């Protein structure tokens, strides 16, 4: 296994102060702490070369977990092993094999061209000159960096900067990528570019990827398996498609009609979500989708039919709403 996490807990102690002067004085005499259970007893493991989506709402504990895995935070309790090493020891040999990319933070020096930060990283990670040239050429090609590296970072667009950030984080060719919202704020085209790059990096180097994103397209495109957490606890670990099937019993059939029909004429096929002139969306029983699609083609004046999954954002929020979400079957062995 590349990554082994067992009964991991990470609690933050936060200093509690009552408002006002009296509160300050009281806090001075007797400090009060509140405990935030950011990660509360989670267990999972990830095999080499796997790409896993790490999902959960804001504050679920995703970033905290990634920080523990990359050795930035010391766990409160539990076992964490990444490539057989304990991340918090921060041995050089370990640090050379991992990277953490945070879409909301930047490592590139703002007033200098990215190539300067690259040079710093080359020295820190002790990348031999020849390897460095080869890796840089490859990243330049894959990410289409062109002359961007020579431009002052502050003058780059967000998307250009993110591509440079990714390159900077991968110059030492890590085997494990912790990607914390690597596409945040990017437009859809650039999101897709970054996504393709991650897939290609995984293919070429059999790298292990643990990825968080609030853009579900990233997850569906890259990850067959997802780990879902909420309030520090594990809700689901398993096949993304199976999860979708369990929490979303319907598929969406979109029909384009050749002539208008009344809503009642559609109601016998499924739940009419929308009827807008010649376009209609129907929710139909997942197991019967193909049959119903065929019947509609035969019985209605249909110009076109497409079958789609409901938007995954809805599916994920459904997981959080399911009271026994923890009881969802997953397909992992214990």
Ligand X SMILES: Nc1ncnc2c1ncn2[C@@H]1O[C@H](COP(=O)(O)OP(=O)(O)OP(=O)(O)O)[C@@H](O)[C@H]1O
Region of 60-68, 146-154, 194-202, 249-257 interacting with ligand X (CB under 6 A): 60-68
What sign results for the dihedral spanned by CA atoms 318, 321, 322, 324? positive
- Return phi, psi of residue 62, to 5°: -65, -55
Pick the binder of ligand X from 40, 42, 55, 64 (CB under 6 A): 64
CA 108 to chain centre: 22
Identity of the residue, 54 or 236, whose beta carbon is nearer to Mg ion in the bound complex: 54
Identity of the residue, 13 or 314, whose beta carbon is nearer to ligand X in the bound complex: 13
Angle (CA) 110 112 117, round 5°: 90
- Is 183 a binder of ligand X (CB under 6 A)? no
Q: Quote the least distance from Cβ 212 to Mg ion, whole Å.
A: 6
Identity of the residue, 117 or 213, whose beta carbon is nearer to Mg ion in the bound complex: 213
Greatest CA separation for the chain? 80
- Is 61 a binder of ligand X (CB under 6 A)? yes
CA dihedral in degrees (309, 313, 315, 317; nearest 10)? Answer: -170
User: Across 191-301, where does the E strand assignment appear?
Assistant: 208-212, 225-230, 233-239, 250-257, 271-276, 279-285
Q: Quote the least distance from Cβ 8 to ligand X, whole Å.
A: 12
Pick the binder of ligand X from 8, 52, 60, 176 (CB under 6 A): 60
- Which residues on adjacent β-strands are paired with residue 53? 211, 226
Which partner, ligand X, Mg ion, none, binds residue 320 by CB below 5 to 8 Å per kind? none
Pick the binder of ligand X from 42, 62, 235, 281 (CB under 6 A): 62
- Is 59 a binder of ligand X (CB under 6 A)? yes
d(CA 97, CA 191): 25
d(CA 242, CA 224): 10
- Which residues on adjacent β-strands are paired with residue 99? 177
Pick the binder of Mg ion from 63, 99, 183, 191 (CB under 5 A): 63
Which partner, ligand X, Mg ion, none, binds residue 38 by CB below 5 to 8 Å per kind? ligand X
Identity of the residue, 62 or 173, whose beta carbon is nearer to Mg ion in the bound complex: 62
Which partner, ligand X, Mg ion, none, binds residue 61 by CB below 5 to 8 Å per kind? ligand X
Identity of the residue, 162 or 252, whose beta carbon is nearer to Mg ion in the bound complex: 162
- Is 36 a binder of ligand X (CB under 6 A)? yes
- Pairing between β-strand 176-180 and β-strand 208-212 as defined by DSSP bridges: parallel
Q: Where along the sequence are the contacts to ligand X (CB under 6 A)?
A: 12, 14, 36, 38, 56, 58-64
């Amino acid at each position: 296994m590349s990554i082994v996490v067992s009964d991991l807990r990470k609690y933050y102690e936060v200093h509690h102060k009552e408002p006002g002067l009296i509160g300050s004085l009281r806090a001075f005499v007797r400090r009060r702490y509140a405990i935030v259970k950011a990660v509360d007893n989670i267990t999972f493991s990830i095999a080499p070369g796997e790409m896993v989506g790490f999902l959960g709402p804001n504050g679920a504990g995703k970033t905290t977990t990634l920080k523990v895995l990359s050795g930035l935070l010391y766990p409160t309790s539990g076992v964490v092993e990444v490539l057989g090493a304990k991340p918090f020891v921060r041995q050089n040999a370990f640090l050379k094999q991992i990277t953490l990319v945070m879409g909301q933070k930047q490592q590139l020096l703002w007033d200098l061209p990215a190539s300067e930060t690259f040079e710093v990283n080359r020295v820190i990670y002790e990348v031999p000159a020849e390897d460095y040239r080869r890796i840089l050429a490859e990243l330049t090609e894959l990410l289409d960096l062109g002359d961007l590296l020579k431009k002052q970072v502050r003058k780059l667009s967000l998307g250009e900067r993110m591509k440079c950030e990714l390159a900077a984080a991968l110059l030492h060719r890590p085997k494990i990528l912790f990607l914390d919202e690597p596409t945040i704020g990017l437009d859809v085209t650039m999101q897709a570019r970054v996504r393709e790059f991650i897939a290609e990096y995984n293919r070429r180097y059999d790298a292990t990827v643990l990825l968080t994103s609030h853009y579900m397209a990233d997850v569906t495109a890259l990850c067959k398996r997802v780990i879902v957490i909420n309030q520090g606890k594990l809700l689901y670990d398993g096949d993304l498609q199976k999860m979708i099937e369990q929490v979303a019993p319907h598929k969406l059939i979109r029909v384009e009609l050749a002539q208008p029909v009344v809503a009642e004429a559609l109601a016998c096929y499924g739940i009419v979500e929308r009827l807008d002139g010649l376009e209609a969306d129907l929710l139909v029983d997942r197991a019967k989708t193909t049959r119903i699609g065929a019947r509609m083609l035969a019985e209605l004046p249909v110009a076109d039919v497409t079958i789609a999954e409901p938007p995954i954002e809805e599916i994920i929020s459904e997981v959080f709403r399911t009271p026994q979400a923890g009881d969802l079957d997953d397909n992992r062995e214990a």
